[in-house]
Structure 1
Amino acid sequence: MDSTMGALTPDQQLRGLLIDLLDGLEPWDLLEQEHIGSARSWIASGAPLARVVKPDTPPMHLVSYFVMLDRVRQKVLLGEHRLAGLWLPAGGHCEEGEVPWTTTVRECREELDLEAVPSDVCGDRPLFVTVTPTRGPHSHTDVSLWHVLSADAGQLPAFDEREYRSMRWLTLDEVLGQPIETMDPHMHRFTHKLLATLHT
């Protein structure tokens, strides 16, 4: 019998890993439960996972967010994203064949000139998942896995000014006090889940 029979391709291995990450999540609410199911079905369908042509080909693709968290100060880092016109965590699109944690490590270096340090909140696994249509003339759908990284809010990182107009540290309470229209539409929900996780 051929020893290669039944071997998984790299694409199958990646899809299996992604489904494992989703299955390991405890949904925060019914909407996250819905998004996990939607993302799981999309991954299992065999549809392309990575963006291959900017800004919207294919129209649904994988994104890795990483939220820089100073656990002692209870602060997170948000950037005023030039293209989106919103305050967002740092992050980027997963490249073809790339696992989300690898994307996080790469994008953290590119956008903030920092090494990614997993927070003890969830390690190198995501804490939260969203499936979100973007705004603007080239609307598409981002399937975003939200990671949490350990950081020091005592200093502002040297961010990529091509991507962000500015960046600032906000306490978790300050995040919840911001109008959601100025932020990622799921930022408040993520913050509530993060707070609950920190207090368990």
Structure 2
Amino acid sequence: MQAATAIVAETIRKIEPLDDLEREHIDTTLAWLAATDDIFRRVRPATPPRHLVAYVVLVDPDRRAVFLGHHLNAGLWLPTGGHVEPGEHPLTAARREAFEELGVHAEFSVIGDRPLMLTVTTTVGIDSGHQDVSAWYVIRGDRSREYALDPTEFAEGRWWDIDQHGLPETDPHFKRFLTKLDTQLHGPDNEL
């Protein structure tokens, strides 16, 4: 697994941080990757207690919208995605999760096939608490199209405007993600 951990670390090093918090998350993640090769969840929900996740955010850049699903276990409106399998590259996990949860072949044509963002989040409510180290990938969607989410994980899905007004209860880093996404889509002079 050390080779897989080194590949993940190289992917993380290429992320340009949005702010001091993301820099801290990247530094924490790189230190974690240097200290262990036990980064893949093996037992649900939290073994090991910190593990790697690939978020897959469906974005319609022309209509400035993101698609979120109401996650059954978390009770939050979240992007699709899930845990990276042992030995799996996060990009491979993003492709797999897009197909499993959205039924689509991921098209990484919005910003490319690298993660836009990295976050470390303590997840509580589903279990006694664990940390998700999440690589946020962006895939192209079409707001005029209906997407059928995996009904075993999501109650429903819908599009939300990137302008951040009226966002539902979601991942604590989602607004920061939208700020970073908007910067990528339109440059730093057009931030939200």
The TM-score normalised by the length of structure 2 is 0.93
**Separation in 1 of the partners of 2:176 and 2:137?**
14
Q: 1:15: how far off?
A: 1.8
Q: What does residue 190 of structure 1 align with?
A: 177
**Separation in 2 of the partners of 1:23 and 1:107?**
23
Q: What does residue 121 of structure 2 align with?
A: 132
Q: What does residue 19 of structure 1 align with?
A: 9
Q: What does residue 167 of structure 1 align with?
A: 157
Q: Which structure 2 residue ranges, 5 or more long, are not aligned? A: 188-192
Q: What does residue 51 of structure 1 align with?
A: 41
Q: Which structure 1 residue ranges, 5 or more long, are not aligned? A: 1-10
Q: Which amino acid aligns with 2:141?
A: A
**Separation in 1 of the partners of 2:105 and 2:53?**
19
After TM superposition, the structure 1 = structure 2 runs for residues 55-70 of structure 1, keeping only pairs within 5 Å, are: 55-70=45-60
Q: Which amino acid aligns with 2:138?
A: V
Q: Is the 8 A contact 1:176 1:188 kept in 2?
A: no
Q: Is the 8 A contact 1:69 1:75 kept in 2?
A: yes
Using the aligned pairs only, state the percent identity: 45
**Separation in 1 of the partners of 2:97 and 2:15?**
23
SS at match of 1:78: strand
SS at match of 1:177: coil
Aligned length, in residue pairs: 186
> After the TM superposition, which segments of 4 or more aligned residues of structure 1 sit over 3 Å from their partners?
none
**Separation in 2 of the partners of 1:159 and 1:78?**
10
Q: Which amino acid aligns with 1:186?
A: H
SS at match of 2:29: helix
The TM-score normalised by the length of structure 1 is 0.89
1:99 corresponds to which of 81, 89, 114? 89
Q: Which amino acid aligns with 1:149?
A: I
Q: 1:176: how far off?
A: 4.3
